[in-house]
Structure 1
Amino acid sequence: MFVVRWILGRIILVANFIFTPKKRQRPVSEQNKVDEQTANMALYQYAACPFCVKVRRAMHRQSLNIAIVDAKQATNKEVLEENGGKVQVPCLRIEEQGEVKWMYESKAIIEFLNQKFA
């Protein structure tokens, strides 16, 4: 099973590379404002997870500079479990006005990003 997952993961990564979506072009001042808003966000993810790829593609389409955190590393996995409540990816960590929210589910994350930055 490990071999099948590994092969499928590599196929997903290659397909994502080949069919990378076009980035949204914004004026520099507007992009700077968006970068300020995304500075306190981080996406916990696995590189070859199809749902994580879906969220990263949406981020790329919107030209969002959100930090990417590899949840396979033990320390990052612990942070995700202790603060987010469970080890599930993709998970978007959002820090606003001193409050930290952990958002799971790729569909919910993409809807949030589209509403906030579209």
Structure 2
Amino acid sequence: MKPIIRAFFKTLRLVLGPVMLLKERLTQTKGVQREPAAQTMVNLECQNLALYQFSTCPFCIKVRQEMRRLSLPIEKRDAQHNTANRDELMQGSSATKVPCLKITEANGEIRWLQDSNTIVVYLRERFGTAVA
């Protein structure tokens, strides 16, 4: 029975994954426009952030849409197909749960934020957009 259930969900992911990615692409919003100097500062701050994600995870899509809306060039790391990224995620956050935002503070301390809602709130607060 277990192999049948696994096959069902694998098939479901194979069918729905491309549909979810297409929806994400079709519903892209235009990012916020900042003064060039302000955007440069945001770009520098984003160098200390990395999003561990799966491409078709709906919660990851939610975070990516918010990153796009806020014009944040945060590095995206595939934790589904890239073993090194998955291992780093597991070692740092003690789980392979995505989305997960790796935050490297100025003093070198590393924090891991899990849960899409927590990540979205963090990004909105840090980059100056009020929470809707």
In structure 1, give the amino acid aligned to 2:28. T
Number of residue pairs aligned between Structure 1 and Structure 2: 118
Judge which range, 6-15 or 98-107, deviates more: 6-15
The alignment-based identity, stated in percent, is 36
Work out whether 1:45 is the aligned partner of 2:53.
yes
Work out whether 1:24 is the aligned partner of 2:62.
no
> What's the offset of the Cα at 1:9?
1.3
Q: 2:65 aligns to what?
A: 57
> What's the offset of the Cα at 1:109?
0.0
CA distance in 2, matches of 1:106, 1:8: 20
**Runs of at least 4 residues of structure 1 off by over 6 A?**
none
Work out whether 1:113 is the aligned partner of 2:123.
yes
Work out whether 1:87 is the aligned partner of 2:90.
no
In structure 2, give the amino acid aligned to 1:39. Q
In structure 2, give the amino acid aligned to 1:80. L
Alignment of 1:9-20 (within 5 A): 9-20=17-28
**TM-score of the aligned structures, taking structure 2 as reference length:** 0.87
CA-to-partner distance for each residue in 1:39-89, whole Å, 9 max, x for gaps? 110000000100000000000000001000000111111110011111100
Work out whether 1:98 is the aligned partner of 2:108.
yes
Q: 2:5 aligns to what?
A: none
Stretches of structure 1 lacking an aligned partner (at least 5 in a row)? none
CA distance in 2, matches of 1:43, 1:55: 9
CA-to-partner distance for each residue in 1:73-116, whole Å, 9 max, x for gaps? 11111110011111100000000121000000000000000001
CA distance in 1, matches of 2:68, 2:108: 26
Question: Which structure would you say has the larger Rg?
Answer: 2
**TM-score of the aligned structures, taking structure 1 as reference length:** 0.97
